[in-house]
Structure 1
Amino acid sequence: MTITQLYYVLAVAEHQNFTKAAEKCFVTQPTLSMQIQKLEDQLDIQIFDRSKKPIELTEVGKKIVSQAKNIVNEADRIKDIVDQQKGFIGGEFRLGIIPTVMPTLLPMFLKTFIKRYPKVKLKIEELTTDEIIQRINDGHLDAAIAATPLENESVKERPLYYEPFVSYIPKEHRLASKKKIDTTDLEIEDMLLLEDGHCFRDGVINLCKSFKQQDDDNFQLESGSIETLVKLSNEGLGMTLLPYLNTLDIKESEKSNLHHFNDPVPAREVSIIYHKSELKMQIIEALHTVISGIIRGAIAFQNVNIISPLAK
């Protein structure tokens, strides 16, 4: 039994196809198939049911894949230990970022990080929180930046910053005359929301204490982007809430529509999250240092109330 064989087994289990798995492993399909067959012969079991389309794991195959993930992780840890001993910070690093953080945070830290750590090859993807958790657990992401706490035992969280919510209220809105607002002023019925699947949406809903399930025929407007929410609000279709960093680039003509909250200011916790196996910690530490150092100059809020990103 070899580590390479286990890599091949995990690839077939993920893609449910020998040809696709071979492409991902950069080997020929006959080579991959032969190595998996060799492993099955050695163990005297069938890992895959090849009669099914797509290919499925057998019952014992499911147990083998679960153990193979642990073994492959531990094998990767050996290289990780060597890199840390040598003080090497480099290699490929796969980073996921949620959509409501990516546009504001990435331009702030990416150039500095690349300049400081030129040997790190960042591969960045914009993903929802659910996709991030799945990919971290599957070993397809090394870390991610997301709103926390997530209450997930498979990942560890390390806070980067606390980002306040800011209300965006059009001129004719019932709250437009208030310089600062309270969370008790919010009503979900006139709130423009992001589409389902965005954790910032869930945070807004959790913040609105008056939230109640609405009938399908009630008016409720949702959008896939924060920029669209601002435009819809300008049309008088309701108010919305924005993450603080999104307000820094808002048009001068729209700044009068921004209304901050009274203390304690509702805020989201933004963290770097990673698998509990703690691989590539030297790069995770480098990312944390760069991002938290840069963000400290942009956000200086103290008295905040952390709003959960979890759907209730």
Structure 2
Amino acid sequence: MTITQLNYVLALDKSKNFTKAAKACKISQPSLSTQIQKLEEELGVEIFDRTKKPIKSTEIGKILINQFKVIIDESSNVSELIIKSKEKINKNIKFGISYTLEATLLPLFYESLVSKFNNSNIKLTINSKDKLLKKLNNNEIDFIITTTPRLKKELKVIPFYYEPLMIVIPKKLQNFDLKIIEPNKINTNEILVPKKNNDLKKSIIKLFNTKKFNTKIKTDNLETLLNLSLNGAGMSVLPYLFFESLRDEKKSLVFNFSNPLPSREISIVFKKNSLKEDSILNIFQLIKKSLKHIRTFSDVKIIED
């Protein structure tokens, strides 16, 4: 039994004619007749007396038709309830972004997000990728923006930007060919890295295939590491979006690695079958639009953190 079949019954009851009922339902007369017959067979009763002209409902048919009207009204109420519930759900948007994207990616789209969803209560969480994934799993947030996590059946992951990693080399350490910079040719003892084992540090470890770095300076502030490098304290690795925010005089000491460019894959991540999927996909398009003026890269090698 389907709502569609019940609507066909009500249409026939109203018009007392198969052809008129089919026209009102915008289907062929044989299709309408077949569907009503299937319903009668399923219920084990005749709803209409087809020997009468015009067609009349049987005694049991009259009782069923009255009940069908109630069912259809209730189904409409359920649909309205679902729409209102979704509207209420979408008024609260909770999302997370990883530490290493906070200062670079977030400013590119956040104001547009607030403007577009000005009737929504937007709550932002900034944390490590692992902790954000845990919050997503516990339904504490609706989606996260981070480097692409390992695939999980319950998650929907949509990549949207390849972000190359670059290297800051102060003049006193420029003692090799800067046109071809291979990670395995770098003295990693000269590289300053974040103190915490965050997403960026994990990528750096994968890039150089070692954990031996200059750990004398203990800080997680990427700008501090950059400035120390620019002043000769050592080399450092920074993501391309961070490079984009630098003044020109600082950019002169930042170099690309050789192609394919070692890069982070940035994605939007949310649970499959999320009630907020439509809103999340709208936000995804908004983020992509905010990156239109940013250079894109295709010859890349993804580094999983």
Same-fold call, TM cutoff 0.5: yes
* Corresponding residue number in structure 2 for 1:268: 264
Relative to structure 1, the CA distance from residue 274 to residue 86 in structure 2 (aligned partners, 3 Å threshold; closer, same or farther) is closer
Q: 1:236 aligns with which of 232, 237, 243?
A: 232
- Counterpart position of 1:287: 283
Q: Is the 8 A contact 1:89 1:283 kept in 2?
A: no
**Secondary structure of 1:194's partner?**
coil
CA distance in 2, matches of 1:213, 1:86: 51
CA distance in structure 1 between the partners assigned to 2:288 and 2:239 by the alignment: 17
State the distance in 2 between where 1:186 and 1:272 align: 33
Amino acid at match of 1:237: A
Distance 1:128 1:86, change over 3 A: closer
Indicate the residue corresponding to 1:118 in structure 2. 118
Shift of 1:151: 3.6
Q: CA deviation at 1:278?
A: 2.3
The answer to whether the 8 A contact 1:162-1:270 is kept is: yes
Say if 1:308 and 1:267 are closer, same or farther in 2 by CA, change over 3 A: same
Deviations 1:230-273 (A, max 9, x none): 12212322111111010112133211101112210011001111
**In 2, distance between residues paired with 1:233 and 1:158?**
34
Task: Identify unmatched segments of 5+ residues in structure 2.
Answer: 1-77
Letter in 2 for 1:206: K
> RMSD across aligned C-alpha pairs, in angstroms?
2.8
- Letter of the aligned partner of 1:285 in structure 2? L
Aligned equivalents of 2:295, 2:208: Cα separation in 1: 24
Letter in 2 for 1:164: P
> Does the 8 Å contact 1:95/1:125 carry over to 2?
yes
Judged with a 3 Å threshold, the aligned counterparts in structure 2 of structure 1 residues 180 and 118 are, in CA distance, closer, same or farther, namely farther
Q: 2:272 & 2:133 partners in 1: Cα distance?
A: 12
- Number of residue pairs aligned between Structure 1 and Structure 2: 228
Q: Aligned equivalents of 2:131 and 2:221: distance in 1?
A: 18
C-alpha separation between the residues in 2 aligned to 1:115 and 1:219?
A: 42
Q: Which residue of 2 aligns with 1:61?
A: none
Instruction: Check the 8 A contact 1:149/1:269 in 2, yes or no.
Output: no
Q: What's 1:203 paired with?
A: 203
Kindly provide the CA deviation profile for residues 60-106 of structure 1, in whole angstroms up to 9, marking residues without a partner as x: xxxxxxxxxxxxxxxxxx99x93499889941111111111011111
Correspondence for 1:148: 148
Q: TM (normalized to structure 1)?
A: 0.66
Q: Which residue of 2 aligns with 1:181?
A: 181
User: Deviation per CA, 1:114-134, whole angstroms, max 9, x where unpaired?
Assistant: 223323321111111121011
Aligned to 1:105: 105
Does the alignment pair 1:157 with 2:153? no
Tell me if 1:297 matches 2:296.
no
Correspondence list, 1:210-249, <5 A: 211-212=210-211, 220-249=216-245
Partner of 1:306: 302
8 Å contact 1:128–1:197 — kept in the other structure? no
